[in-house]
Amino acid sequence: MSVKVQDLTKIYGIQKAIDHISFDIAEGAIVGLLGPNGAGKSTTMKILTGFIPQSSGNAWVHGHDVGVDSLEVRRLTGYLPESNPLYTDMYVKEYLHYVAGFYKIARTEARVKEMIDITGLGIEQHKKIGQLSKGYRQRVGLAQAMIHDPKVLILDEPTSGLDPNQLVDIRKLITEIGKQKTIILSTHIMQEVEAMCERVIIINRGKMVANDSVAQLQKKTGAASVQVEFSASVEIGLLKKLPGIVEVRNEGGNRWVVSGTAKTDIRKLLFDFAVQKQLTVLSLNQRENSLEEVFRELTRKK
Amino acid sequence: MFTVFKREISSFLSSLIAYIVIVVFLLVTGLFMWVFPDYSLLDYGYASLDQLFIIGPWLFMFLIPAITMRFFSEEKRTGTIELLFTKPVTDLQIILGKFLAGFALVLFAVLPTILYAITLWYLADPVGNIDTGGILGSYIGLLLLGAVFVSIGIFASAITENQIVAFIVGLFLCFFMYSAFESLKLLNFPVKTQLILEQLGISSHFYAMSKGVLDTRDLVYFGSVISLFVMLTKTVLESRKW
């Protein structure tokens, strides 16, 4: 196991930031750590990187206890903290050399150059970090996290605040790196998880509510939904009365999103309904049961 | 440790702080030594560097907290402290790296004043008739005092995110350690207490050294105060784990 977490608990004062979390992550996996704001994602990451200690429970990185063997764990992990803090008064190259100085790196100069190439910092490499745009700062943050070729990468919201092009670039970069390394990343963007992660761990209010593969999670929640557009207005009460319908939501005008239990084929139901009411169905789309809905369902309840 | 040291030094060099500190130190000591008629060595009549060693500690009291104030407070404010503490170095190594960087700057400020001593050597009548032992002792004392102030400044920087607060607390603690004990003993204390109070302050040890006598007690005193503040800093930084 690359990362192993057992009954990890962190208490701030009287508040439990994380509450008996346990999971294993195999080597080479990319795992998404999800949860609403304040759920305990960052806390979990801070414990794994040895920045703060846990209140109880244990965590290991490649067999090294994060509390006991902190220095070794720090050598094995690369960390990009949530706000991507950087020394803005340093030059990009200077900064990477500085970070490299903390580790035993054989040929620093070559390694720094390699990192600049990998993260696409080439044209900005002679600038001060303070002059860089957010996307490029994020690359510097990633470069410093990976400079010592860590076995485990811990990235706290690596794509926050990036424009769509940069998002795609950074995601591609992470997926590329993830082929050789174990990566734990946190994010709020569900498409990102679907695009990058093999497994998802969802935390809500400090408790782990899901730990499964993306596909498995999508299957798990029973509800399937359909988007439908009628030619004329329909009373919401009539739709709700149909057998097997769980939820009906208006999406403006005559467009509705209708969810039902997995057993019912809502499309047929809705079509029959339309015929019966002498309506025309303008569009009818089966909605992929997106991770977003799974997420919402799992984190909504207290 | 060396990595942290190197970064702090290059940060000094790329900002104006280091140059300003060195220039101000040399300018003020230079003015007092050679220009201001009330204090000038040329009108003084004695071949001594006393002015430098009287004004030096008071200048350090302002300048050293000014160079140390951003050491930890800035890292706390910007969050880079989280990166620093997740690198494979111990807290103590980080503190010592910063301490050495601060001390190196003090050293660079003091170094050019050797010119004053050389000038004095040639001004003396006959040439070379100066209290070499006393001057050497004073220099060592001044550097040790600088080291104590650096450790105090680092401690002040570790307790806050605000550089101004760090500066003021550092200034106050430096002042207190340097001269407050000396003044406190003048209160109506028993003789024994007075003696202890005096020994607690930096100034008594500094003056003892400026006589040219390197007493192990004074060296132990400076060493202990530096260690005390380094340990206090370490405790403050570790408080994130409580």
Q: Which residues pair with A6 in a beta bridge?
A: A58
Q: Which domain holds residue A261?
A: 221-300
A interface with B, Cβ–Cβ below 8 Å: 46, 49-53, 71-72, 74-75, 77, 79, 81, 83, 85-90, 94, 98-99, 101-103, 144
| A149 & A242 share domain | no
The tokens for B218 are 């004074």
pLDDT along chain B (242 residues), means of 10: 90 87 93 85 80 91 94 93 92 95 94 91 85 91 96 96 95 93 84 87 90 90 96 92 76
From chain A, the residues in CB contact with B80 under 8 A are: 85-87
From chain A, the residues in CB contact with B7 under 8 A are: 87, 90, 98
B78 to chain A: nearest residue by CA?
A85
- Which residue of A82, A83, A102 to mutate against B (max B Cβ within 10 Å)? A102
Q: Is A232 exposed, middle or buried (0-12, 13-18, 19+ CB in 10 A)?
A: exposed
From chain A, the residues in CB contact with B83 under 8 A are: 79, 81, 85, 144
pLDDT at site A177: 84
pLDDT at site B185: 81
Q: What sign for the dihedral angle of Cα B157, B163, B166, B171?
A: positive
Rounded to whole angstroms, the maximal C-alpha distance in chain A is 77
pLDDT at site A272: 85
| Average pLDDT for A89-111 | 91
| A274 & A291 share domain | yes
| A79 & A94 share domain | yes
pLDDT at site A223: 58
| A122 & A256 share domain | no
pLDDT at site B224: 96
The tokens for A88 are 């803005």
ipTM score of complex = 0.85
pLDDT bracket for residue A65 (50, 70, 90) = very high
| A12 & A97 share domain | yes
Edge to edge, what strands does the sheet with A152-156 contain? A77-80, A152-156, A182-186, A30-34, A199-204, A207-213
**Region of residue A222 (phi > 0: left; psi between -120 and 50: alpha; otherwise: beta):** alpha
| Average pLDDT for A18-35 | 90
pLDDT at site A83: 86
CA distance A288 to A295: 14
* Interface contact flag, A51 B15, Cβ < 8 Å: no
| A178 & A280 share domain | no
**B29 vs A224 pLDDT, higher one:** B29
| A114 & A176 share domain | yes
Distance from CA of B7 to the nearest CA of A (A): 7
**B41 vs A71 pLDDT, higher one:** A71
Q: What is the mean pLDDT of chain A?
A: 85
Within 10 Å of residue B57's Cβ, how many Cβ atoms? 20
**B82 vs A219 pLDDT, higher one:** B82
B12 to chain A: nearest residue by CA?
A89
Chain B segment 52-111 residues within 8 A of A by beta carbon are 78-83, 85-90
The tokens for A217 are 């999670």
* Interface contact flag, B86 A49, Cβ < 8 Å: yes
Q: C-alpha distances in angstroms, A173 versus A167, A181, A185, B134?
A: 10, 12, 13, 65
| Average pLDDT for A205-212 | 88
From chain B, the residues in CB contact with A86 under 8 A are: 78, 80
| A161 & A239 share domain | no
The tokens for A274 are 């339309």
* Interface contact flag, A85 B85, Cβ < 8 Å: no
| Average pLDDT for A24-33 | 90
pLDDT at site A134: 86
Distance from CA of A49 to the nearest CA of B (A): 6
- Shortest CB distance from A85 goes to which of B7, B82, B90? B82
| A15 & A49 share domain | yes
* Interface contact flag, B82 A51, Cβ < 8 Å: yes
What are the pLDDT digits (tens) for A130-167? Answer: 999 888 898 899 999 999 989 999 999 888 777 888 88
From chain B, the residues in CB contact with A155 under 8 A are: none
pLDDT at site A252: 78
Answer whether residue A220 shows pLDDT above 70: no
* Interface contact flag, A83 B85, Cβ < 8 Å: no
- Which residue of A47, A51, A92 to mutate against B (max B Cβ within 10 Å)? A51
**A298 vs B25 pLDDT, higher one:** B25
| A100 & A145 share domain | yes
pLDDT at site A262: 61
From chain B, the residues in CB contact with A87 under 8 A are: 7, 11, 78, 80
Give phi and psi for A154, each to the nearest 5: -115, 115
pLDDT bracket for residue A61 (50, 70, 90) = very high
List the domain boundaries for chain B. 2-237
Answer whether residue A266 shows pLDDT above 70: yes
pLDDT at site A301: 59
- In chain A, the number of structural domains is 2
| A57 & A197 share domain | yes
Q: Which residues pair with A212 in a beta bridge?
A: A200
In the block, residue with structure tokens 């100069």? A109
| A105 & A225 share domain | no
pLDDT at site A6: 92
SS3 A91: strand
pLDDT at site B47: 77
